[in-house]
């Protein structure tokens, strides 16, 4: 992993941890789910602590759910609901362990456990919705490519200047062939390596103009010059790029790609 990618990753984790701590403070002051009877300091520590622990559990499970979403074309809310159902289970065990005086109480694993599990799942899914509203995750309307004359060949990628290049490290010398969403990031692909940027896909697409390309999926944009062939997997279509990268194509974009003569 390159230094700039690490910096972006650490920066985003720090941002999310800060937001989680603030959410914990809000819960601590409100004292929901029967915690208002706790002393204020203990209540704040309880909520901030468990929100941060929940983040450590939910975050990797949520990333895995996003990978699953790409693989089987799940909607974002469906993937996150699945992640919430899975991640809420270990968090419920941890909270139950703490509530029971740092020991496993056999009486706890009954109706009380189910009720706490539902609370953890609701809080986890609610935080997911809040984060999507706060950061306007990449579920934006697709940016349509500008129409070009079919007879005019596209300019060589290396000669094209675009604002997004200013965000990339100096060592990123190869032409950009694709943009892919990974959670709150956009991964910028060249034929030999990739870099992560903290950016919305719609903004990245605007900043990559006038490089000729097209958004072909909710989470993918590809450069026209990079497309080598197509690949069918049942009813699903993938673009195989010159680097070997395979990019899924949503059915809504297949007709447009054919009309433009790209496939």
185 and 129, same structural domain? no
Out of 4-18, 88-102, 222-236, least confident range: 4-18
Domain boundary among 73, 102, 135: 135
- Of 65, 72, 68, nearest in space to 86 by CA: 65
Q: Is residue 11 very low, low, confident or very high in pLDDT (cuts 50, 70, 90)?
A: confident
Residue 87 placed within a domain: yes
* Separation CA 176–CA 189 (nearest Å): 6
CB 216 within 8 A of CB 222: yes
107 and 12, same structural domain? yes
Domain boundary among 78, 101, 135: 135
CB contact set of 211 (below 8 Å; sequence gap of 6+): 157, 160, 162, 176, 223
Residue 129 placed within a domain: yes
First-to-last alpha carbon distance for the chain, in angstroms, is 33
The range of the structural domain enclosing residue 189 comes to 157-259
7 and 125, same structural domain? yes
Residue 145 placed within a domain: no
118 and 57, same structural domain? yes
Asked if pLDDT for residue 4 goes beyond 50, the answer is no
Q: Is residue 9 very low, low, confident or very high in pLDDT (cuts 50, 70, 90)?
A: low
19 and 102, same structural domain? yes
Residue 167 maps to which CATH number? 2.40.50.1020
Phi then psi for 236, rounded to 5 degrees?
-90, 140
CB 190 within 8 A of CB 167: no
CB contact set of 255 (below 8 Å; sequence gap of 6+): none
Residue 140 placed within a domain: no
Residue 229 placed within a domain: yes
Give the pLDDT of residue 25. 92
Residue 163 placed within a domain: yes
Mean pLDDT over all residues of the chain?
78
234 and 119, same structural domain? no
Residue whose pair of structure tokens reads 């390596």 in the numeric block: 193
* Separation CA 141–CA 138 (nearest Å): 9
Higher pLDDT, 220 or 147: 220
169 and 102, same structural domain? no
Residue 149 placed within a domain: no
Domain boundary among 102, 135, 168: 135
Give the pLDDT of residue 255. 81
161 and 131, same structural domain? no
pLDDT in tens, 52-78: 988 888 888 887 877 776 666 666 677
198 and 119, same structural domain? no
Give the pLDDT of residue 192. 83
User: How many independent structural domains does the chain possess?
Assistant: 2
* Separation CA 211–CA 155 (nearest Å): 8
103 and 13, same structural domain? yes
């Amino acid at each position: 992993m390159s230094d700039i990618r690490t910096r972006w990753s650490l920066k985003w984790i720090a941002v999310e941890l800060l937001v989680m701590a603030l959410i914990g403070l809000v819960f601590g002051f409100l004292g929901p789910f029967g915690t208002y009877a706790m002393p204020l300091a203990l209540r704040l520590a309880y909520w901030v602590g468990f929100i941060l622990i929940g983040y450590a559990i939910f975050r990797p499970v949520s990333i895995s759910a996003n990978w699953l979403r790409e693989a089987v074309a799940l909607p974002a809310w469906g993937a996150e609901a699945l992640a919430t159902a899975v991640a809420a289970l270990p968090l419920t065990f941890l909270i139950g362990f703490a509530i029971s005086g740092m020991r496993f109480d056999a009486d706890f694993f009954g109706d009380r456990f189910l009720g706490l599990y539902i609370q953890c799942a609701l809080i986890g899914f609610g935080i997911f919705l809040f984060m999507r509203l706060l950061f306007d995750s990449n579920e934006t309307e697709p940016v349509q490519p500008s129409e070009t004359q079919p007879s005019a060949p596209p300019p060589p990628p290396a000669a094209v200047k675009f604002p997004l290049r200013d965000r990339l490290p100096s060592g990123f010398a190869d032409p950009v062939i694709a943009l892919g969403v990974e959670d709150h990031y956009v991964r910028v692909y060249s034929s030999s390596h990739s870099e992560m940027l903290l950016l919305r896909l719609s903004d990245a697409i605007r900043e990559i103009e006038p490089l000729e390309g097209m958004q072909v999926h909710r989470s993918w944009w590809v450069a026209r010059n990079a497309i080598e062939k197509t690949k069918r997997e049942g009813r699903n279509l993938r673009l195989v790029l010159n680097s070997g990268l395979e990019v899924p194509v949503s059915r809504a974009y297949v007709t447009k790609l054919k009309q433009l003569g790209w496939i």
